Structure 1
Amino acid sequence: MSSWCFINKIKPPSLPILMIEEAFDMFCNGVVGFGPFWNHMLGYWNESRERPNKVLFLKYEDMKEDPEFYLKKIAEFLGCPFSLEEESGGVIENIIDLCSFEKMKELEVNKSGTFARNFKNKFLFRKGEIGDFVSYLSPSMVEKLSKVMEEKLGGSGLSFRVNSQ
């Protein structure tokens, strides 16, 4: 969803709007910028399993559900675990608040800044919600996405939630 919205925001005005059905088919077939999503995810996933001290694989949905746990995990991975004093002093909660989607989206640089002529920073922020795709995809599209994911990721141990928010 985010990719579809983003593409339609940055496209030149002379190009037609990319329809959701076309974007969905392109995604399922691996025809997206920088190559198939599935190959990228599996590459990083496999590296994280082979070299867990070098590659940390995180999923947004997991981080959003338990930000404290994953912030501690990131700090430990970086070799900078939180001290008991920092934990009891609210440092973790403060970092979570400062780095929240809502706070990042409201920073002036992300509301009015630009990266390039047609690339406004605000285009990088949509809703930050888990499962919002069900507001845009039909039930048959969700079913197809589930099947494609099983085909592409099955047996790897990597999964993403599709059927529930």
Structure 2
Amino acid sequence: MGQERIREELGSLHGIPLYKVFIEGWPQVKDFQARPDDLLISTYPKSGTTWLSEIMDMIYQDGDVEKCQRDAIYNRVPFLEVKVPGIPSGVEQLKNTPSPRLVKTHLPVQLLPQSFWEKDCKIIYMARNPKDVVISYYYFYQMAKVHPDPGTLAEFLETFLAGKAAYGSWYDHVRGWWEKRKEKKILYLFYEDMKKDPRQEVKKILQFLGKEVVEGTVERILQNTSFQAMKKNPAANYETMPTALMDHNLSPFLRKGICGDWKNHFTVAQNERFNRHYQEHMAGTDLHFQMEM
């Protein structure tokens, strides 16, 4: 990954701010051929994607912990639109992935490749409250070199609220997928619910998949997808990523995994500004978020 590609400004894909290297691979992503038994995991960045991916792989492997350590999570659940020099693109990886495939994306609903709708694939979307997302994203911008320099937290907050962070407006993203669930096979989950009662959420997923598991499997899944277990697991914590792409010395990929961490970062004024912005942009939707637990 040549130095010249590091900390590059974002480009724009159909009006959505995105890494230029990803945009270069867009034609292949757009034409991606989904298979009817693909399961898509969709999220706005920093909303529990890796957690949900690990839970899904555990379900697909019937709770077999060893099988789930067969490879890094980003190889077990390929990232559809990823394209960085020196490693296979998501599309290339998926071509070689046997069915049933788990596929990860951060694309807003309007950019999802058409074949997912045509093949009527099942989709699980996970949303997280935006105050925690922005804090997590800020640390991610620092450690993942594909991002421009985030500046100070105050500066990054403005970037985020303006919809100028990678993948664009959080509001448009969560609302777009929320509306789409009315007409498609989409299970819409919340990070905060998953934290509060993971057992109930895993059961919801199993029901959505129409999958029965033997006694004890759900327990094993919950044990192995706890934040502590994942943080220690090299197959889940991204430590196997080249340092040129992600520098864990700056911030670990799996950092805290809690609800309400924003309270340790926001000033009173920033919180009030955020609240006003949120009220304005979430007016008229029946989509609600828990900002703390």
1:35 to 135, 150, 168: 168
1:10 to 134, 139, 144: 144
Structure-2 separation of matches of 1:64 and 1:151: 27
**Once the two structures are superposed, what CA deviation does each residue of 1:82-124 show, in whole Å capped at 9, x if it has no partner?**
4xxx3xx322121111112221111124263015732257843
Q: Is the 8 A contact 2:143 2:247 kept in 1?
A: no
The change in CA–CA distance for 1:120 and 1:79 in structure 2 (over 3 A counts) is: farther
Query: Residue 188 of structure 2 aligns to a residue in which SS?
Result: coil
2:289 to 149, 157, 160: 160
Query: Residue 58 of structure 1 aligns to a residue in which SS?
Result: strand
Query: Residue 94 of structure 1 aligns to a residue in which SS?
Result: helix
Structure-2 separation of matches of 1:74 and 1:16: 37
Matched, 1:132 2:261: yes
Which residue of structure 2 aligns with residue 114 of structure 1? 241
2:158 to 9, 17, 25: 25
Identity of aligned residues (%): 29
Structure-2 separation of matches of 1:22 and 1:135: 17
Q: Which is strand-richer, 1 or 2?
A: 2
Structure-2 separation of matches of 1:158 and 1:49: 13
Off by >3 Å, runs of 4+ in structure 1: 120-123
The change in CA–CA distance for 1:29 and 1:97 in structure 2 (over 3 A counts) is: same
Q: Which runs of 5+ in 2 are unaligned?
A: 1-134
Which residue of structure 2 aligns with residue 60 of structure 1? 191
The change in CA–CA distance for 1:115 and 1:61 in structure 2 (over 3 A counts) is: farther
TM norm structure 1: 0.82
Query: Residue 286 of structure 2 aligns to a residue in which SS?
Result: coil
The change in CA–CA distance for 1:47 and 1:108 in structure 2 (over 3 A counts) is: same
Structure-1 separation of matches of 2:253 and 2:283: 30
Structure-1 separation of matches of 2:281 and 2:150: 28
Query: Residue 210 of structure 2 aligns to a residue in which SS?
Result: coil
The change in CA–CA distance for 1:29 and 1:46 in structure 2 (over 3 A counts) is: same
The change in CA–CA distance for 1:17 and 1:29 in structure 2 (over 3 A counts) is: closer
TM norm structure 2: 0.48
**Over the residues paired in the alignment, what is the CA RMSD in angstroms?**
2.3
The change in CA–CA distance for 1:116 and 1:81 in structure 2 (over 3 A counts) is: farther
**Once the two structures are superposed, what CA deviation does each residue of 1:16-72 show, in whole Å capped at 9, x if it has no partner?**
662000011111111110111111111111112333xx1111111111101111000
Q: Which is helix-richer, 1 or 2?
A: 1
The change in CA–CA distance for 1:146 and 1:161 in structure 2 (over 3 A counts) is: farther
Structure-2 separation of matches of 1:6 and 1:156: 29
Higher relative contact order (CA 8 A, sep 6+): 2
Which residue of structure 2 aligns with residue 70 of structure 1? 201
The change in CA–CA distance for 1:90 and 1:45 in structure 2 (over 3 A counts) is: same
1:100 to 213, 226, 236: 226
